[in-house]
Structure 1
Amino acid sequence: MMKIVVLSDTHMPKKGKSLPERLVEELPSADAIIHTGDWHSKEVVEELKKYGPPLYGVYGNVDGEDIQSVFPYKQTIELNGFRIGLIHGHGEKKTTEKRAVEGFKGEEVDLIIFGHSHLPLTRYMNKVMLFNPGSVTDKRKMPYYSFGILRLEENIHAEHVFFT
């Protein structure tokens, strides 16, 4: 079993001065950390790296050259036998979800993880799981902040962790 902590849209330090305690509780037991963009500052990258597991990510629409020089616009990674597409989901027209799906059109992936909308989501489209962890620092109109935990076994088990 592999445990992956998934987050997006940290927008730090603008929306938060530090990683929320509820998220920090999960990071030491993670086998990998995924961030799907809008880090806002390189300090977030450095902070997440301190926890030890591999850090995977992409850049978002608010990320500057400091983040874009470290992370790509999109990428596909393989963890525990699953092909996982990472993309922020920003762009023109259509919904964030549709842009995320189109980003991997023609590619075989088991899971697409995206951010941008700050709206937690888990659903399937054509046998591909779509997952948006929400935001740990900017809940917008949602009642709670959120991030995700994926457990990769024979199947993908996805859950959202909601907190105030």
Structure 2
Amino acid sequence: MKIIVISDTHIPKRAKKLPEQLIVNLKQADLIIHAGDWQILEVYQELAGYGEVQGVIGNVDGQDIQERFPEKLIIEVHPFKIGVVHGHGKKLTTERRSLDAFKGEQVDCIVFGHSHIPVIKKTDDILLFNPGSVTDKRRQPCYSYGILTIKEDTIKAEHIFFDDKS
């Protein structure tokens, strides 16, 4: 199973459309996960044209997105449970807030966003995965998104980095 993971699209503030680099992989996705800061519902509508989309709200998402998506969710992709949260808040780091969001729940992977910083690391046997941003790299050298590949009893995370967001 191939899962495309994105966050912090910030359309139309940071870009007018999703980058072509991303669209190539969206066409091959079994599932698309968005970890918040869509900014407009049209981003969901476009993504839904490529396949099943699941996601959460971010701190800049308006009422229409808040009515459509939860603050956090757990997606079961046999045999794994993937927690999804944006990760915003006032105390601690984005990673710590994301871990705390699933405290007491059994998850194998946590997908989060907010910082726009690509992350792949294990903490307490949980895979932490931030795809970065396809439209707003901030101080990062490249734009990025992620791919989770699930085969039998393995889950693999990787980033796709690119220079041009058009």
TM interval, shorter chain, is over 0.9
Q: Corresponding residue for 2:112?
A: 114
Task: Give every structure 1 segment of 4 or more consecutive aligned residues whose post-TM-superposition deviation is greater than 3 Å.
Answer: none
Residue 80 of structure 1 and its aligned partner are, at CA, apart by: 2.8
1:94-113 superposed matches below 5 A? 94-113=92-111
Give the gaps of 5 or more residues in structure 1: none
Amino acid at match of 2:37: D
1:85 counterpart SS class: strand
Please identify, of 152-161 and 131-140, the stretch whose mean Cα deviation from structure 2 is larger.
152-161
- How far does the alpha carbon of each residue in 1:22-76 deviate from its partner, in whole angstroms, 9 at most, with x for none? 100001110000000000001101110111x210100000001110101000011
Give the gaps of 5 or more residues in structure 2: none
Q: Corresponding residue for 2:86?
A: 88
Which residue of 66, 69, 86 corresponds with 2:67? Answer: 69
User: Root-mean-square deviation (CA), in Å?
Assistant: 0.6
Aligned: 1:163 with 2:162: yes
Aligned: 1:55 with 2:53: yes
Q: Corresponding residue for 2:143?
A: 145
Percentage of pairs with the same residue:
57
1:160 counterpart SS class: strand
Q: Corresponding residue for 2:39?
A: 40
